[in-house]
Structure 1
């Protein structure tokens, strides 16, 4: 069988891989992409997108219960879980189909199957129909990651779920345990809690959403508890006993083990890179704790082999993967490529209330030796937030006292996942506090709080 020759082969068609393929095609390369499961990867099919569709349903349900506050009437409020899931799957399907269209439009050759790299510049694809041999001077690894499974806490799909089971629930949990309070865990906790599940979240670190600024984490915890969630911090699930329709969790809190019964457990304890079965070790690729070691340009150290997205390490975010895909395509084409700076990538969590951040936390800025100025502005001081009935929230900004550089921004409240981009652009343009203060923010908008938070850092706040 004659090998098919390309300029670039991308392994994995998630938000890193398919974007790399499109950008390379735009730059005139002949591109192949290999995908073993779904175009769009986990993000479009089992992650970012379907979870947002489900969370939107729970948000609307929550608002329906508040109808009276807005002078409205809604009787007999309820939900149909199957219909909620069906809508979520339809949204995912629509977008996955869209990726197929984009591949055709950009003349990217798609191979559905399992890839291995038998030698430098060679890719073997095992397909339903047999196999394909491909060659290219450049190969991009974009194989993503999967849910980490801890011994004794493995998912069974009935009592113990991963994110995939939680997106297609076999039943509505009555008493739910969520292990892990990162973005995935807290989003599912938020969804099921809003629909009426008695929800407990166990987090091994000293706070929920542990990558966020400590002040935001504390605000989030208070909000979640107000909604009826039970939050256990500095706690660890030691084991799960499964019997009939019940799971007994043994939870270690400060050296003392408590047992609690649940009918459903969602495990969200991190991810593992998909590095197996590709032949990476034989090629000389260095792997550390299931992640490929790369330089800032995503080069693996093996000539012509790049790794992007989740497989290349934190932050494990779709938008980081996409940006790396574009950067690598530009680099291969000999264009000027800008490395992705992790501290310039925003993190967004779509729980209720939403959480978003970019740059350094207050603790990290201090640890790095910065002298800082910190500004805060609460949602309760903003006209638009009050009009929306969304007075619960906070915007926090951190500046370098010496230079006025925006070091970090941290938010919790309605629509902050959209607002954060203002600060992301600001950081990219190397804005100072003066630029932000002199910018006219439209009224009435939630974005005015971003202005006020900056003003507050310099003792110039108006509405507080």
Structure 2
């Protein structure tokens, strides 16, 4: 007899396991199905272990520049194996933490590959054979994987995806990174700090193309100053893997094609949703370019089937998936008769984005260009790190904070930052946008001194011609 649940969650990434926990908190009998590792890609192979790698690179960078702080550090070197081992240890620790959370919340864990069978049934094939689970509601949280290029299929030896780049068998000497989104730029930054000769090729006319144009321009200058070769408006025409490296044909923005040799290549050109073989089409769910269409609460077109995270429309970010998980869990509880939950639809305009390169990037809302395209008359203010005492004391005086307002209403439309620790600062603006803050409240807010956060205040003041420290 099939085991019966209120909710089954298929996939245990940051969307899936959070959805399961919230379901359990709401008194629903919950199961989670995972084919690989609890915590999914983000925790085991993405967000967290990459940040551990980048932290090691940051420490190495600071050690190499110890003299700038009046310190001496000699014979500095990086042990790549030890750096990777630390990263994997961090991932293992957090995987064990998710395992603990499942037990704490009495969530049944079924390891295996799940397939929708209709009528609330989910077939799970694992090491213990095949079992059938049933539930009133099923949440699909199957995530996504790295996209391959037809001419640059990852082999794990010379051509890498992010997973190979996290557990390298050898240190690249000359590295080609294809794509300058968050993943590409983070690995470019890591390997550059570790000592590789890095070239980044981006088909768009600027790096990190989803960010504000001023941020892109600043980052390109910073990366070039660090020794990277940045090729925008460019492409890779062909790759040929040899026994000792990779031969590439690179097409520059001038249309000329040149030959270049690299020891390794990282392909970072986006993701593909894990929606094949799940049984979605059989349940009448029509995919859109491989993505599951959902309503603002996470409902699919099939009754009782929900979807969240990277298998649904973007942005494809862990925190967006987690928030969607909570929304779907509460909407399900409401459908099952819980009158104490009041789920709110996701507002995609308030989802922050963070890139952990050096310098860091963080943003939320509309860029200045997008705001103008949307018909707003804007007021934009920028304040540089060099005008902030804490940034100078830290030896991190490169970067800026930019805010974009609706000139007519004072609504905060967007915020864009580049520099030290901006991935921590951005949440102040996210809270402000969620609370529908205007420039008046931000101007009236007292920011502590000396902190980097003072630049947020100054940026708002600058938008209205009132900056105090520049």
Tell me the TM-score range normalised by the shorter chain. over 0.9
- Which residue of the partner structure matches residue 80 of structure 1? 79
- Contact between 1:53 and 1:87, CA under 8 Å: does it hold in 2? yes
* 1:3 pairs with 2:2: yes
Counterparts in 2 of 1:394-409, with a 5 A limit? 394-409=400-415
CA displacement at 1:256 relative to structure 2 = 2.2
Matches of 1:204 and 1:432 in 2, distance apart?
37
Over 3 Å counting, the alpha-carbon distance change for 1:79 and 1:296 in structure 2 is: same
Give 2:382's match in structure 1, choosing from 348, 354, 376: 376
DSSP-derived class of the 1:286 partner: coil
CA displacement at 1:298 relative to structure 2 = 1.3
Counterparts in 2 of 1:227-266, with a 5 A limit? 227-254=226-253, 255-266=255-266
Q: CA RMSD in A?
A: 0.7
- Contact between 1:201 and 1:229, CA under 8 Å: does it hold in 2? yes
Matches of 2:95 and 2:373 in 1, distance apart?
43
DSSP-derived class of the 2:5 partner: strand
- Which residue of the partner structure matches residue 392 of structure 2? 386
Matches of 1:160 and 1:250 in 2, distance apart?
15
DSSP-derived class of the 2:247 partner: strand
* 1:359 pairs with 2:365: yes
- Which residue of the partner structure matches residue 311 of structure 1? 311
- Contact between 1:161 and 1:264, CA under 8 Å: does it hold in 2? yes
- Which residue of the partner structure matches residue 446 of structure 2? 440
Please say which of residues 158-167 and 335-344 is displaced more in the overlay.
Answer: 335-344
Matches of 2:453 and 2:321 in 1, distance apart?
28
Matches of 1:120 and 1:449 in 2, distance apart?
55
Structure 2, unpaired ranges of 5+: 335-340
DSSP-derived class of the 1:336 partner: coil
- Which residue of the partner structure matches residue 277 of structure 2? 277
CA displacement at 1:267 relative to structure 2 = 0.5
DSSP-derived class of the 2:354 partner: strand
- Contact between 1:176 and 1:200, CA under 8 Å: does it hold in 2? yes
Counterparts in 2 of 1:147-162, with a 5 A limit? 147-162=146-161
Matches of 2:36 and 2:241 in 1, distance apart?
31
- Contact between 1:7 and 1:29, CA under 8 Å: does it hold in 2? yes
- Which residue of the partner structure matches residue 451 of structure 1? 457
DSSP-derived class of the 1:442 partner: coil
> Once the two structures are superposed, what CA deviation does each residue of 1:253-308 show, in whole Å capped at 9, x if it has no partner?
24322211101000001000000111111111121111111111111111111110
- Which residue of the partner structure matches residue 209 of structure 1? 208
DSSP-derived class of the 2:175 partner: strand
- Which residue of the partner structure matches residue 328 of structure 2? 328
Matches of 1:110 and 1:9 in 2, distance apart?
10
Query: TM-score normalised to the size of structure 1?
Result: 0.99
Matches of 1:242 and 1:349 in 2, distance apart?
30
- Contact between 1:207 and 1:234, CA under 8 Å: does it hold in 2? yes
CA displacement at 1:3 relative to structure 2 = 0.3
Query: TM-score normalised to the size of structure 2?
Result: 0.98
Moved over 4 A (4+): none
DSSP-derived class of the 2:456 partner: helix
DSSP-derived class of the 1:351 partner: coil
Matches of 1:120 and 1:78 in 2, distance apart?
59
DSSP-derived class of the 2:106 partner: coil
CA displacement at 1:313 relative to structure 2 = 1.9
- Which residue of the partner structure matches residue 126 of structure 1? 125
DSSP-derived class of the 1:234 partner: coil
Structure 1, unpaired ranges of 5+: none
Aligned length: 463
Matches of 1:381 and 1:325 in 2, distance apart?
41
Matches of 1:282 and 1:130 in 2, distance apart?
23
Matches of 1:251 and 1:288 in 2, distance apart?
32
- Which residue of the partner structure matches residue 224 of structure 1? 223
- Which residue of the partner structure matches residue 91 of structure 1? 90
Counterparts in 2 of 1:287-298, with a 5 A limit? 287-298=287-298
CA displacement at 1:219 relative to structure 2 = 0.3
